[in-house]
Structure 1
Amino acid sequence: MLRIVLLVAAAVATPAAFGAEAPHGGPVIDMHVHAFTMAEVPPGAPACPGDQAVVMPTVDPAQDLDFSAMGACARPLLAPPDDAGLRDGTITALRRHDVRRAMLEGPVERVAEWREAAPGLFLPGVAFGARKEPSIDELRRLHAAGRLAVLGEAYIQYRGQRPDDPRYDPYFSLAEELDIPVAIHMGEGPPATARFPGYEDYRAAMGSPFLLEAVLRKHPKLRIYVMHYGSPLVDEMIAMMFAYPNLYVDVACNDWAMPRAQFHDALRRMVDAGFAKRILFGTDQMYWPDAVGEAIESIEAAPFLDAGQKRDILYGNAARFLRLSEAEIAADHAPARR
């Protein structure tokens, strides 16, 4: 989860890109959505689409870092007023942009609440690698009850730990046994992560895709996708995808919050390396529902992608990764009910 909170993204969005409806011409699967509460951000907190460079603070290390001085957008995305607004705004944004399925991670009961509000839209995810771990027995019960479809997000990097730490092997083993996907965070945290309150355990080095090698060798049948594609370590991710055909990536948050030139460069490199069929779309929607449209637009705007590659990234790759049936795919392509 690339947490960008409270004025930490300070790019100025171009009017043409801001809030644009993406004419993507087909259904979308979002592999990365969160059922959060508004406890961490105030109503109206802005976040900025990344068409221009994110302004990073440069300070004397003897000084405290003033996050409120990191800049503001000319036309920001704004957080909703309350928890209900976040839930309903996210559901509305997903439906507006023809997202037919979305992997939803958050507290188990909150995920259930969101699923009840939008039947058939969300695939339930359950996190691990956080400070309070779900037990393997609990995960088995959730799976048996239809409340666990994806094991993740795995927050291991935010704890400053390696994914091949033995304490996490039971989770990978369970996912392989149950044949459910694993979603693991490997990539950036908030800007100035080392000084960001609440993220003291995060380590950039623990985002190296090479740290997954022992996991993938031990669990060759594991379906796993790396959230944020291990950004910015694209060459390492390409090497791992070349060696391990069960390894996929998502482009969530990087596709709307990071500088557009940086994101497109990374996406093009993975496509040019031959992995256009293993790139999954995601938004990492946290507190800003309008990020859904911004993320889709970033794929549509990529000049190096042809129409088939855009459809694969927005839908086809995830449909194959999730092993959707022909009937499910046909239903996703039927006219949406508004």
Structure 2
Amino acid sequence: MAAEPRPAAPVIDMHLHAFSANEVPPGAPACPGDQDVLVPTIDPADELDFSKFAKCAHPIFASANDAALRDETIAEMKKHNVRRAVTEGPVDIVADWRAHTGRLIPGVAFGKRTELSIDELRRLHAAGQLAVLGEVYIQYRGHRVDDARYAPYFALAEELDIPVAIHLGEGPPATARMPGYESYSAAMGSPLLLEPVVRKHPKLRIYVMHYGSPLVDEMIAMMFAYPNLYVDVACNNWAFPRAQFHEALERMVDAGMEKRIMFGSDQMYWPGAIGEAIKAIETAPFLGEAQKRDILYGNAARFLRLTQAQIDSDHAPATDEPS
């Protein structure tokens, strides 16, 4: 079988993870959203069995171990010409991945169960290990975005002039029933809760991961009011029903937000998610070629303030793979 041609145009992935592969079973399947994707439906008395919800004709599979996850993800980035990727995960794992490729923009999370201190984040930034503050996991703790305990983190990002990437939207299927995720709150995913933060920090570059899905109208209202607010379309583009994702994307484009929609994969354990996520943009029937290029590259290049030299480099043959 002939190999798929590498895209001629570059891609920026604003939402990629460097996790440990042992967080899911080796080879665990996932179903891309252009196939039947089932939302879990169970009797409250039953245990949640995720194996029932990953059955499809053409699944993608989790990597076998940490090294495979790293190498297979980098290989998929090269295959699909992903030239830059905002990458979050444990600091040591991100550092290991960066030692194997120059394509990663290091992110550091907050809002989990144990925070890095502001001083620790400053040290990481000074060492070149923090370029984006995020993923912000506040919603998974059931907390409001404007909770006072997180105010110093937003202030730090504005001071350092680094972007913030905040999760607002769905988590994994049946999130609140998953062990370790019991504090997740759908109500805390409303984009409107972000308003006090963007008002307090008008110079903050901030993007909402998953575009606050499924609360698209609320997200549009916030973007209309606050021109420094961007979104990514990660995970929804490959793991959610394709019709639902395309409908939401079209609504944002029709509302005039096409210059602030950025591509992301949310690749965690399934390297094939990168190609599936790109396919969801390329096959959107309502997008013109210029709009696809904006979403896949141009909008992120503007948001990240890439120089013309950096943009030119991204459009030239990569130096870490055959031309």
* Change in 2 beyond 3 A, CA 1:34/1:238: same
Report the equivalent of 2:236: 254
| CA shift for structure 1 position 68 | 2.6
| CA shift for structure 1 position 109 | 1.1
Which whole-Å CA distance do the structure 2 matches of 1:194 and 1:299 have between them?
A: 29
Report the equivalent of 1:41: 24
| CA shift for structure 1 position 289 | 0.6
Q: Does 2:304 align with 1:331? A: no
Report the equivalent of 2:49: 66
Report the equivalent of 1:55: 38
TM-score under structure 1 length normalisation: 0.92
Q: How does 1:196-275 map to 2 (within 5 A)?
A: 196-275=178-257
Q: Does 2:68 align with 1:80? A: no
Which of 75, 79, 92 is matched with 1:96 structurally?
79
- Segments of structure 1 that go 5 or more residues without pairing to the other structure are 1-19
Q: How does 1:1-338 map to 2 (within 5 A)?
A: 21=4, 24-118=7-101, 120-337=102-319, 338=321
Q: Which amino acid aligns with 2:53?
A: M
Which whole-Å CA distance do the structure 1 matches of 2:125 and 2:59 have between them?
A: 39
- Segments of structure 2 that go 5 or more residues without pairing to the other structure are none
Q: What's the CA shift string for 1:84-137, capped at 9, x where partnerless?
A: 00000000000110011000101111111100111x200000000000101000
SS in 2 for 1:152: strand
SS in 2 for 1:271: helix
| CA shift for structure 1 position 157 | 0.3
| CA shift for structure 1 position 62 | 2.4
* Change in 2 beyond 3 A, CA 1:263/1:22: farther
The number of residue pairs the alignment matches comes to 318
Q: Which amino acid aligns with 1:78?
A: F
* Change in 2 beyond 3 A, CA 1:279/1:325: same
Q: What's the CA shift string for 1:144-189, capped at 9, x where partnerless?
A: 1111100000000000101100001100000000000000000101
Runs of 4+, deviation exceeding 3 Å: 20-25
Aligned partners of 2:35 and 2:56 also within 8 Å = no
Which whole-Å CA distance do the structure 1 matches of 2:51 and 2:306 have between them?
A: 45
Which whole-Å CA distance do the structure 1 matches of 2:290 and 2:110 have between them?
A: 35
Q: Which amino acid aligns with 2:113?
A: R
SS in 1 for 2:21: coil
Aligned partners of 1:188 and 1:204 also within 8 Å = yes
Structure 1 range deviating more: 35-44 or 217-226: 35-44
SS in 2 for 1:92: helix
SS in 2 for 1:117: coil
Aligned partners of 2:192 and 2:222 also within 8 Å = yes
TM-score under structure 2 length normalisation: 0.96
Aligned partners of 1:21 and 1:297 also within 8 Å = no
SS in 2 for 1:126: strand
| CA shift for structure 1 position 21 | 4.7
Q: What's the CA shift string for 1:278-315, capped at 9, x where partnerless?
A: 00100000011111111111100011111111000000
Aligned partners of 2:30 and 2:54 also within 8 Å = no
Which whole-Å CA distance do the structure 2 matches of 1:288 and 1:225 have between them?
A: 24
SS in 2 for 1:114: helix
Which whole-Å CA distance do the structure 1 matches of 2:124 and 2:84 have between them?
A: 19
Aligned partners of 1:22 and 1:293 also within 8 Å = no
SS in 2 for 1:256: helix
Which whole-Å CA distance do the structure 2 matches of 1:234 and 1:303 have between them?
A: 19
Report the equivalent of 1:13: none
Structure 1 range deviating more: 192-201 or 320-329: 192-201
Aligned partners of 1:93 and 1:292 also within 8 Å = yes
Aligned partners of 1:22 and 1:296 also within 8 Å = no
Aligned partners of 2:31 and 2:54 also within 8 Å = no
Which whole-Å CA distance do the structure 2 matches of 1:22 and 1:181 have between them?
A: 33
Aligned partners of 1:53 and 1:258 also within 8 Å = no
Which whole-Å CA distance do the structure 2 matches of 1:256 and 1:63 have between them?
A: 28
Which whole-Å CA distance do the structure 2 matches of 1:72 and 1:111 have between them?
A: 31
- RMSD after superposition: 1.3
